[in-house]
Amino acid sequence: MGKNVLIIGASGDIGIAIAEQLAMEGYQLILHYHKNKYSIEQLKQKINQESILLELGADLSSEIEVNKLLDQLIYPIDAVIFASGTAHYGLFQDLTVDEMHSMLALHVTAPLTITKKLLVPMIQKRAGKIIFITSIWGSVGASHEVIYSTVKGAQNSFVKSLAKEVAPSGIIVNGVSPGFIDTKMNQHLLEAEKQALISDIPANRSGTPNDVAHTVLFLLDEKSSYIQGEIIQVTGGW
């Protein structure tokens, strides 16, 4: 049997691509989703049913639901991939306190809470992998996406610092930082806006969810075991 991988945000475009790739490689999957149960059902039609150990629905902006999710993890976890999240567009001055708290809970508090829980058995086994899907905006920042840039920057810092702390215990922590990826998160952009972005990308195309998934697969492989605390850019040179 393959290793058990918890995918937080398995119903998003990138989460689905990661799940498909891992299933093909023989990993056993625990799939988290929030509202998009339909995407999970569609995913199940594409991959071997035996690859799925659990499906867990939870709103990660709720502390109660995060704890409920953790209570339902009845299988040992060899790796966790954080691919969940949502963007927020608009002027920072128009951001409400509730929106701020929700973004911080979803992208920072929940992933840290889940990681803290999973670290104990990983350290006991002296093995485990933690991967965050962050964003190019977490490194360079984006106008009109200040809160999103902020929480993704927090994820980058968490990866770098936690990696140093747990490396002696055999735990590997890394991040994957996508650039402009063709997902539903970017559907708000007009076609002309997309083309303007692509014109700034040396690879001359938008990225795909599979571009991100292939990088995650590499980081899960033992051949990448000396990569630690890195934020790998998947940006086409943007």
Tokens coding 179: 């650039």
d(CA 182, CA 147): 21
d(CA 179, CA 125): 34
| Catalytic entry in 27, 38, 148, 226 | 148
d(CA 70, CA 87): 25
Which phi and psi angles does 186 have, rounded to 5°? -105, 15
Tokens coding 36: 């998009």
Strand partners of residue 207: 181
Nearest one of 6, 22, 5, 83 to 217, comparing CA atoms:
22
| Residues 53-63: b if buried by 16+ CB within 10 A, e if exposed | bebbbbbbbbe
Half-sphere exposure of 215 (CA within 13 A, CB side): 25
d(CA 156, CA 231): 7
To the query of whether residue 148 is one of the catalytic residues in this protein, the response is yes
Place of tokens 């498909």: 20
Active site residue ranges? 148
